């Protein structure tokens, strides 16, 4: 029989911030494979938080749940994305990924002082971004951190190599600023809408179904969080 298609739950930054505002230390009551934090549009009060930062708070609160921040390619650049995703993968013990969208219009970007890059809507730009991320994530060998007190070395420089990428849209020289994460190459989710594609570290691609939560589900999360807080206060 064919295997079940993985599913993800999409939460807005506002919904996630609401969940995180109530102390709780338990798993989410969700039957999904991952939680996707959707990128807020420019002008949204939650846009300043950053989905990667919210994801970090999420994994600290709900360990064991895979979390994927959505990032607009028109706003973030690949080197920063690689660094943030690797850091999140380390923080979550290998339960992180990143999702790419390109929703912001040229007018919205310019209104917020962000240069508009026509390239972000090109399939070639997305392909190069994935290639750059994979190269950066592989620029540190898993054993590069040696923590050798006798020689006063934290990193073995011979196990970190720069990348030299020059494409039609992107060019990067140098290694990542972040050590290798547990997954090495975390999954990258591409596309927009309910059905998306997951690009795995080995280059294979699979389908992912994205669902949006119903309000009773968020109410249940808040209720459980409140109950957990009450138990902690009465203990």
Per-residue pLDDT of the chain (235 residues; tens, 9 = 90+): 345 678 888 988 888 877 777 665 555 555 678 899 998 888 777 776 789 988 998 888 887 889 999 999 988 899 999 999 999 999 999 999 999 998 888 888 888 888 878 788 888 999 999 999 999 999 999 999 888 888 888 899 999 999 999 999 999 999 999 999 999 999 999 999 899 999 999 999 999 999 886 555 555 555 555 555 556 556 6
Stated pTM of the model? 0.85
In a domain, 165, yes or no: no
Distance CA 65, CA 228 (A): 18
Distance CA 92, CA 17 (A): 18
Q: Which domain covers residue 28, as residue numbers?
A: 7-134+182-234
Distances (CA, A) of 70 to 60, 176, 227: 18, 21, 30
In a domain, 144, yes or no: no
In a domain, 15, yes or no: yes
Distances (CA, A) of 128 to 5, 59, 77, 102, 227: 27, 29, 12, 15, 47
Distance CA 53, CA 213 (A): 21
Q: Which two tokens stand for residue 37?
A: 């934090």
The CATH number that applies at residue 227 is 3.20.20.30
In a domain, 215, yes or no: yes
In a domain, 40, yes or no: yes
């Amino acid at each position: 029989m064919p295997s079940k298609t993985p599913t993800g739950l999409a939460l807005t930054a506002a919904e996630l911030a609401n969940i995180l505002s109530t102390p709780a230390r338990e798993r989410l009551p969700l039957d999904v494979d991952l939680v996707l934090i959707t990128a807020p549009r420019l002008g949204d009060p939650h846009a300043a938080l950053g989905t990667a930062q919210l994801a970090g708070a999420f994994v600290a609160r709900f360990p064991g749940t895979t979390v994927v921040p959505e990032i607009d390619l028109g706003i973030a650049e690949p080197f920063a994305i690689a660094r943030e995703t690797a850091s999140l993968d380390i923080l979550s013990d290998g339960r992180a990924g990143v999702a790419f969208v390109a929703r912001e219009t040229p007018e919205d970007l310019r209104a917020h002082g962000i240069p508009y890059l026509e390239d972000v809507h090109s399939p070639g730009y997305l392909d190069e971004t994935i290639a750059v991320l994979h190269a950066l994530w592989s620029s540190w060998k898993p054993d590069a951190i040696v923590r050798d007190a006798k020689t006063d070395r934290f990193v073995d420089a011979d196990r970190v190599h720069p990348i030299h990428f020059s494409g039609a849209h992107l060019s990067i020289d140098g290694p990542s600023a972040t050590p290798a994460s547990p997954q090495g190459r975390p999954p990258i989710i591409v596309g927009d809408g309910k059905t998306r594609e997951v690009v795995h570290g080995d280059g294979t691609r699979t389908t992912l179904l994205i669902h949006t939560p119903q309000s009773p589900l968020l109410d249940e999360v808040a209720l459980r969080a409140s109950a957990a807080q009450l138990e902690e206060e009465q203990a």
